[in-house]
Amino acid sequence: MRFGSLELKSNLFLSPLAGYTNLPFRLTLREIGGLDLATTDLVNARSLLEKNPKAFKLIETCPADRPLAVQLFGSVPEEMRDAAVYLESIGISSIDINMGCPVRKVCKVGGGSAMMTELDKTAALVKGMVDAVKIPVTAKMRLGWDDQNLTAPDLARALADVCVAAIFIHGRTREQGFAGTVNLAGIRSVVQAVRSIPVIGNGDVTTPQAAKRMLDETGCAGVSIGRGAFYDPWIFKRTLHYLQSSSRRRRDEALINAELAMRTAESKSEPPHVGSCHDGEGELLPEPSFAERIRVLCRHLDLMVEVFGEAHGCRMFRKVAPWYTKRFGPVHEFNKRVVLMSSKAEFHDILESYLRWRQQFVDETGDLKPQYRPAPLVASFMQEPAVAQRSAIPVPKGPVEVW
């Protein structure tokens, strides 16, 4: 896949999550595999230009964290342009413009979702950024402000006209926030509106099967994953394998069908029925073992401490650790203590205590007994409507909870 001059090895992307998609998390995902272009937390363009230390920490990176996009928000054309020029000068691979954030403090200054209500003004702002840099400029948006104002196709066309490199589209409106079902038809309408640039779908992708469903039903060129990566940091590796094996299977079946058709034509006999019992499905790698989940949990903490220092890194990890444990089975004993941790030594004491406590819920092979196994993850757009309405993917607590 290509974004302008940027050649990418994967069509799977990490969505920005304010307060979460920092350098330690990105490195954790990259070490597991399957992820190429990742995006930072959203950053205020003015804060970057003012050299605010907090803004600089949000864009902190390292050679192993490549390729990297920085997501900017703001509504002042000169500030957005100058911030883009600065980011290009320090080696950032791509710039993403936030047009999807529904948070009031972002919208009230004309950024985030508010940019979807003034198409000409937004297109002019983006053109100024595109003209000022050589690296790709992309835009992240929602379907519209609400169900009565689904402006994404019109905005996507306007942005394509000013040479934006790609569109990331979340399949909900600003009014929905993260509630309700992702609208695949809405994503498809954006894909159909702009054939000249890649459109990347986003929203509730929590499994490889959900990623494939979104790709198949919308025609989007790739999938961006946010909260799904917190449930399953292995999702990029597992999804990439699933999609690649699916493509190989379809290719092999097409070759077999073509060969059989040729033989039939030569023999002038009735062609046999040839089909696929898999319908193009790929090979689904098994979920990671409990031991592997613990290893990555500990590695993530090590990176948090390395980047933020022990005291601050451990405080930040209090809200991260419980996301790993959602696939652990019974975890009350762990969660009630890990949210109070203040050092690595304390974390490992809590973990060792939890591992002993957890033994009562596993069988002789070390696997969770059936009654304690977590339910499979299912995307909202793959559920029955009544189920999708009463179940929602929780939003991580913190800056992103109303994103």
Q: How far apart are CA 174 and CA 122, in angstroms?
A: 17
The HSE-up count of residue 401 (CA atoms within 13 Å, CB side) is: 5
Note down pLDDT in tens along the chain; length 403 residues: 999 889 999 999 999 988 899 999 999 999 999 999 999 999 999 999 999 999 999 999 999 999 999 999 998 999 999 999 999 999 999 999 998 655 555 555 555 556 777 888 999 999 999 999 999 999 999 998 888 888 899 999 999 999 999 999 999 988 887 788 899 999 999 999 999 999 999 999 999 999 999 999 999 999 999 989 988 999 999 999 999 998 887 776 666 766 666 776 666 665 554 443 344 689 999 999 999 999 999 999 999 999 999 999 999 999 999 999 999 999 999 999 999 999 999 999 999 999 999 999 999 999 999 999 999 988 989 875 544 443 455 565 554 433 3
Q: Indicate which residue of 62, 101, 220, 314 is catalytic.
A: 101
Number of residues that make up the chain: 403
298 annotated active-site: no
Q: What is the pTM (predicted TM-score) of this model?
A: 0.87
Provide DSSP, 287-352: PPPHHHHHHHHHHHHHHHHHHH-HHHHHHHHTTTHHHHGGGSS--HHHHHHHTT--SHHHHHHHHH
Which of 222, 183, 218 is closest to 203 using CA atoms?
A: 183
Residue 222: in which H helix or E strand, if any?
Answer: strand 222-225
Cα torsion at 292, 297, 298, 302 (round to 10°)?
130
